[in-house]
Amino acid sequence: MFKLDHKSILIGASVVASTALLLTGCLSSSSSTNEKTPAKVQANALAGPYTGKIGAIDGGVIYPRENGMYTAYVLNEQSTKGINHGRVPTANEIKAWDLDALPDGTGLPEGEGSVEEGDELYEAQCASCHGDFGGGGHGYPQLAGGNQSKDENGIVITLKNQREYGKTDAPKRTVGTYWPVATTLFTYIRDAMPYATPKSLSNDEVYAITAYILAQNYIKIDGEVMDDEYVLNAEKLAKVVLPNKDGFYPNIDGPTGPDDVKAFYADRAKNIGSGTRCMTDCKDPGGQDGKTEATLVRIDYEMSDVVPPYSTVRDLPPEVEDVTISKAEKMYNESCKVCHANDNMGAPALGDADAWEDVMDNGFDQVLRNAIDGMGGMPPKGGNDSLTSDEVKSIVEFMINSSK
C-alpha cells in the first residue's frame, strides 16, 4: 500500500530528475524506519513550483532554480559563464607542455648530439626494452631493422607497400619502415621515454639518441651517411626524409590538410569501402553466383604473422642495482630527476649553478623546508611520501653539491 503511494508520489513529482532521485533516497530511508512519516505531505509540498526560501527537508537541502523550480543541488552560476576548472596555468607549466615540433622543424629546441653519444645513452637507458641496436626482441617495440630490403627500384620497402607473400619478406613496423616524420621521433622520445622516467633526458641527449636510432635505420641526411661522428641538430633533423613519408593518407599536414581530409572522406566508396555494416550472421548475400555484386567488403590483406609478435610481457624488466652511485643520487633518480633533469617544468635543474645560486639565496634551511613541504609546482617531498626528512635532506645536499 505504502509502496504504491510512494510510486505515485514519485510520478506526480513533476520536478527535475535530480530532485526525484533525492526524494527516492529520503523517502525510502524514512519509510523503513517510520511508517508514519508524512511522506506524501512532503512530496506534495515538493511537487510543483517552489515558492519558499532555501529549505531543508528530511536532511536534504533544496535550492531554488530558474522558473520557480528547485533542485537538490546548488546551481553553479559560474558553470554557465564559462569554464571554471582549476586555475590558470603558470607560464612554466605552459612551457613544460607546449612543446610541439612541426614536420618542418619549427619548434625543435636548440641542442645537438652525436650518433656515438646516442649509442652509449641508448645502451644504458633503452636497450633493456627495445633490444640491442633497436632490434627489439624484448617484447617492446622494435625501433630499427624492420626490413632493409629494397624493391626493384631501390626503394626501401615500407609498410605502405602491400605484403606480397613469396616475393619479399614483409616489413616490420619500425621507425624506418613506418614513421612518416622524424621530428616526431625527437618529441616522442623527449616526452615519453624512457618509459619509467619520461622527460628525464636533456635536449642534447635526445638529439644524440634520435641520431643513433636514425643511423640504425640507415637514414641518410642530405645524402650523408650517419656514421659514429655524425652530429644531429634541429636543422639537420628537419631535413630527414623517412622512407615511409608518403605512406599515410590522407595527408593531414600543411595548409591543404583539412581539404585533403574532406576529399578523402567525400569519396567513401573508393577510400573506405561501401560495404554494409554487419554484426551477426554476416554471410555475403551476393557475389557467390558471379552475377550479383558482393555487398560485404572483404579485407584483402590480413595481418596474422606480425613480427615481432605483440608483447605478452607485462612487467618492466627487473631493476638492476647500480652500486656506482650514492644512495642520495639513487633516491634523486627515483623521485626527483623526472622534474629536475632540466628546467622544462620550471624546476632548478641539476647542474645549473646559476639556478641553484638563486635558490640558495633563501638559505639552506628554507630550501630544505620547501623541498619537504612543497612549493609551487614542487610537490611535498617530490611526491614521494615515503621519503623521511633526513632522506630529502641528503638528496637536496646532493643536488646542491652537483650544481656548483
List of residues contacting ligand HEC (CB under 6 A): 125-126, 128-130, 140-141, 143, 185, 188-189, 193-196, 209, 316, 335-336, 338-340, 345-348, 359, 362, 367, 370-371, 375-379, 381-384, 387, 392, 395-396
Q: Which of residues 283 and 314 has its CB atom nearest to ligand HEC in the complex?
A: 314
Residue type for position 35: E
Residues 239/220, Cβ–Cβ less than 8 Å:
no
Closest distance between ligand HEC and the C-beta of residue 85, in Å? 20
Q: Which of residues 257 and 376 has its CB atom nearest to ligand HEC in the complex?
A: 376
Q: 143 CB contacts (<8 Å, ≥6 apart)?
A: 130, 131, 134, 136, 174, 175, 213, 216, 217
Closest distance between ligand HEC and the C-beta of residue 235, in Å? 21
Q: Which of residues 278 and 375 has its CB atom nearest to ligand HEC in the complex?
A: 375
Closest distance between ligand HEC and the C-beta of residue 387, in Å? 6
Picking from 149, 195, 228, 157, the residue whose alpha carbon sits closest to that of residue 317 is 195
Question: How big is the chain by its Cα radius of gyration, in Å?
Answer: 32
Name the maximum alpha-carbon separation found in the chain: 91
Closest distance between ligand HEC and the C-beta of residue 135, in Å? 13
CA torsion 283→284→285→290, rounded to 10°?
-140
Q: Which of residues 50 and 398 has its CB atom nearest to ligand HEC in the complex?
A: 398
Closest distance between ligand HEC and the C-beta of residue 198, in Å? 9
Q: Could you check whether the bond before residue 194 is cis, i.e. omega within 30 degrees of 0? A: yes
Closest distance between ligand HEC and the C-beta of residue 203, in Å? 13
d(CA 353, CA 337): 16
Residues 376/90, Cβ–Cβ less than 8 Å:
yes
Residues 57/26, Cβ–Cβ less than 8 Å:
yes
Q: Is 188 exposed, middle or buried (0-12, 13-18, 19+ CB in 10 A)?
A: middle
Q: Which of residues 60 and 380 has its CB atom nearest to ligand HEC in the complex?
A: 380
Closest distance between ligand HEC and the C-beta of residue 131, in Å? 10
Q: Which of residues 156 and 371 has its CB atom nearest to ligand HEC in the complex?
A: 371
Q: Which of residues 15 and 193 has its CB atom nearest to ligand HEC in the complex?
A: 193
Closest distance between ligand HEC and the C-beta of residue 340, in Å? 6
Q: Which of residues 26 and 237 has its CB atom nearest to ligand HEC in the complex?
A: 237
Q: Give the dihedral sign, CA 334/336/341/342.
A: positive
Closest distance between ligand HEC and the C-beta of residue 36, in Å? 58
CA distances from 368 to 138, 258, 288, 357, 362 (A): 41, 52, 78, 14, 10
Q: What angle do CA 265, 269, 274 make, to 5 degrees?
A: 115
